[in-house]
Amino acid sequence: MSLLPLQSPTLPSVEELQERAHVVCLPLHVRFRGVVERQAVLLDGPQGWSEFSPFLEYADAEAARWLACAVEAGWEGLPAPVRTAVPVNATVPAIPASDVEQLLARYDAPGTVKVKVAEAGQTLADDVARLAAVRAVLPQARLRIDANQSWGHREALVALEALAPFGLEYAEQPVPGIEGLARLREELARRGLPVLIAADESVRKESDPLAVAQAGAADLIVVKAQPLGGVRRALEIVRQAGLPAVVSSALDTSVGLRVGAGLAAALPQLPYACGLGTGSLFVSDVVEPGYVASGGELDLRTVAADPALLARHAASAERREWWMARLSRAHAVLAAQAR
């Protein structure tokens, strides 16, 4: 099996990318993935706005995938959709149970909620309390959890036995690695514990994103446009994997969320709500109104950054210089792969 290359047929020059780049810092309502402020590069491409926002700790080779996605979206455009709206879940970070109701109030009628669990410094009791609080606020919602591969095998079994009574739709990346997922999935089946396994990091961080499906290590896969190198490449991964897919965000701004929605809208089948509702976690965004769900769905409207919001949230000169250097290095990776 062969995947699409990481770069678009024509890679713009690094000078063009930098000329079209706007670096922003956006505050969050709550700490998410260890950050309270999201930094991103927004590109005003000839086919529309796109986003380059690899997390700060990612090396250049990984960041290059995110740039490939930005180039595809901004210079080639998104593929034609097969649906007019995308169902999305609400996301509850690893916050105290007492804060859950206030956070969920920021979402409009979510039918599905993803709850972060296994946070460093917290206990299983904190996770149980958080899910119980979500269930109390939204008794009919579908619940899923995401451990970000933080449990070991035994920890995962204990945790899933405690959390399964909430009627979990699935558990996302409960343990690290493909072998770990396969072992856990086999043991859950042996015990008759009805929890589906979703692979996230074992898809987007592996050198072969199809390996998890080939190993039978998951019931479904989570795909993200930026980390996988673009919408068309992600679509091909889903096709070749032959597993149900959930499209999720990487804490994108509204610009990046629209690219993610373009991926979800182009999938032939979309059996699960997508993790593209994280725009509700931002205090402010670069689009007015922000690209957030209404009635549990995202529409497919055109999203363009607002000049006033770009100016309001512009990064410092020092951070812009840091991001431009990073963009240049990621561009060099893509250019080398195109030779």
| Residue pair 127/163 in contact by the 8 Å Cβ criterion | yes
Residue 5, judged by CB atoms within 10 A of its CB (0-12, 13-18, 19+), counts as middle
Structure tokens at 248: 């999720």
The rounded distance, in Å, linking the Cα atoms of 25 and 90 is: 23
Q: Does the annotation flag 108 for ligand binding? A: no
Q: Does the annotation flag 200 for ligand binding? A: yes
3-state secondary structure of 245: strand
- Tokens 């669990």 identify what position? 117
The rounded distance, in Å, linking the Cα atoms of 87 and 66 is: 24
Residue 114 a catalytic site member: no
CA distances for 75 relative to 51, 54, 286, angstroms = 12, 19, 20
Catalytic hit among 20, 22, 65, 116: 116
CA distances for 152 relative to 182, 302, 303, angstroms = 13, 43, 41
The rounded distance, in Å, linking the Cα atoms of 63 and 331 is: 9
Residue 224 a catalytic site member: yes
Buried b / exposed e over 59-87, threshold 16 CB at 10 Å, is: eeebbbbbbbbbbbbbbbebeebeeebbb
Catalytic hit among 224, 232, 233, 331: 224
The rounded distance, in Å, linking the Cα atoms of 57 and 77 is: 28
Q: Does the annotation flag 172 for ligand binding? A: yes
The rounded distance, in Å, linking the Cα atoms of 65 and 137 is: 38
Q: Which residue ranges make up the annotated binding site for Mg(2+)?
A: 146, 172, 200
The residues carrying an active-site annotation are 116, 224
Q: Which residue ranges make up the annotated binding site?
A: 146, 172, 200
